[in-house]
Chain A
Amino acid sequence: SQTIHQWPATLVQPVGSPLSLECTVEGTSNPNLYWYRQAAGRGLQLLFYSVGIGQISSEVPQNLSASRPQDRQFILSSKKLLLSDSGFYLCAWSVRLAGGLQETQYFGPGTRLLVL
């Protein structure tokens, strides 16, 4: 079965410091990968998605970047964190099956980021 891991689970960082959040998927090949941010009590905002190694698409301009160095690894980064980067970050994966529109997304446990 497929599993998705995220670490760290919780992170407290000072403003201006760098960031690296990691997401890995097991039990599947060539997944689509996604990074979301969720503000407290709100829905999810898509930040980045990737359909393959080295292929990153950004949905909103921001202080963050993403990379996919390996098939099942997705990294969210920042060179200098802002207070507004605080939130809950969720990684998700999906597989598009042959025959059309089938792409349920499955989520990792998330990372709580607090920027002080």
Chain B
Amino acid sequence: AQTVTQSQPEMSVQEAETVTLSCTYDTSESNYYLFWYKQPPSRQMILVIRQEAYKQQNATENRFSVNFQKAAKSFSLKISDSQLGDTAMYFCAFMKLLMDSNYQLIWGAGTKLIIKP
């Protein structure tokens, strides 16, 4: 069964620092997608970044980048020059293929990130 593990329940850094959130997953599939979503206090779930497993190049979106280690099944998120608005819960998710060819996201438990001024 596919699982997603986020080992850091909570992290706290100073504004402008760099922070890395860890995520590991377990799957026997060779082609899949991985996602990081952000959920601020408003509870709106916002896509941060997406990584295709067949791509060796790590995805980047402005200050957000991932370190994707396929063999190790690791998918960490790095936030550079952190800002107060980055304070949120961050969820790692793995895309699982269902029996009817639809897809389901398997979610980690989340990491609460606090950016301090």
Contact = CB atoms under 8 A, between A and B. Distances in A.
Interface of A: 32, 38, 41-44, 46, 49, 51, 57, 59, 88, 90, 92, 94, 96, 100-107, 109-110, 112
Given A44-B105, A57-B102, A103-B33, A90 B45 contact: yes
A43 B50 contact: no
Interface of B: 31-33, 35, 37, 42-47, 50, 52, 91, 95, 98, 100, 102-105, 107-110
Contacts of A90: 45
A88 B43 contact: yes
B105 A105 contact: yes
Q: Which residue, B43, B50, B98, has most C-beta atoms of chain A within 10 A?
A: B43
10 contacts: A41-B110, A43-B110, A46-B104, A49-B104, A90-B45, A101-B33, A102-B33, A103-B33, A104-B33, A104-B47
Given A42-B109, A42-B110, A43-B91, A103 B44 contact: no
A32 B102 contact: yes
Contacts of A92: 45
Residue from B31, B104, B109 whose CB has the most chain A CB atoms within 10 Å: B104
A13 B50 CA distance: 37
